Amino acid sequence: MSARSRQTFQQLVTLPDSAIPLAEAALLMACEEYPQLEISPYLDQLDRMAQMAQKSLRAEDTPVQTVEKINAVLFETLGFRGNTEDYYDPRNSFFNDVIDRRVGIPITLSTVYMEVSRRLQFPISGVGMPGHFVVKFNNRSEEFFLDPFNRGMILSRDDCRARIKERYGDSLEFDERLLERVTNRQILARMLNNLKLIYLKAQAFDKGLAIVDMMLMVNPHDIEQFRDRGLLRLQLRQFEGAARDLTYYLRKSGNCQDREEIEDHLKELRRIQAMMN
């Protein structure tokens, strides 16, 4: 990712949450994998998707009818679908790849859905349901949920509750807050965390470090990211930065469960630094 792309990302995520351009920020994340990525052609594609849907919309359409028409464009005409064959393919998390290939995971397909709906001035928001991101329509008189990973399937609140129960059983107690609208920053943080896990699994520590840097741009108060950045810097032999991050983590995290482990890392870092002086 170029310094300019990262600077632009930082400028965007410091805007008031409702002003953060979600698609542009998601595309800037993908610049970590595609440094020469041009953003504007993908924003133009989203514009065209909305224009395709707009042609069939009527002022008298109900919210469900509007959803059916958006679904017809995205999932029938354009062929967007959830990647059930290779769910953990990194391309499912890069927003440019999702638009190019029309294949993704719940959060990236939901972002496509939200961005198209926003262009149509249709009120769709993200819902960070555990394990499976969805979106919802909500106004003063009506609420329902949609699953873009499953071709925009319409879900009730009870359907969502049943899905959580099926997935987690008694290990997760249902709370109505699980179905609340999430902020743009929360969406970006969840997308970044997916990328972080992909890079760590591949032991691409330099890319993982860049993603953690971006996560701290989105949420500078996420103390665990300072720990993870310190550990990544340790892997990359950036000893001074590692010591700084791990020290900050211990100072801010109180009685964390991994205190002894992190203190051991710091002792080793001090030994290494002493040998280098």
Considering the domain architecture, whether residues 146 and 230 belong to the same structural domain is answered as: no
What is the predicted pLDDT for the residue at 2? 72
- The residue type of 148 is P
Extract the residue ranges of the chain whose pLDDT is less than 50.
Answer: none
**In whole angstroms, what is the distance from residue 47 CA to residue 113 CA?**
12
What is the predicted pLDDT for the residue at 260? 93
Considering the domain architecture, whether residues 47 and 167 belong to the same structural domain is answered as: yes
In the chain, what percentage of residues exceed pLDDT 90? 87
Considering the domain architecture, whether residues 19 and 139 belong to the same structural domain is answered as: yes
* Both structure tokens of 249: 């983590």
Considering the domain architecture, whether residues 174 and 121 belong to the same structural domain is answered as: yes
What is the predicted pLDDT for the residue at 1? 63
What is the predicted pLDDT for the residue at 203? 94
Expressed as residue numbers, the domain containing 68 is: 3-179
In Å, how far are 32, 43, 189, 204 from 4, measured between CA atoms? 12, 19, 20, 22
Question: Looking at the domain assignment, is residue 139 inside a domain?
Answer: yes
What is the predicted pLDDT for the residue at 187? 97
DSSP string, 139-188: -SS-EEEEEGGGTTEEE-HHHHHHHHHHHHGGGS---GGGGSBPPHHHHH
How many structural domains comprise the chain? 2
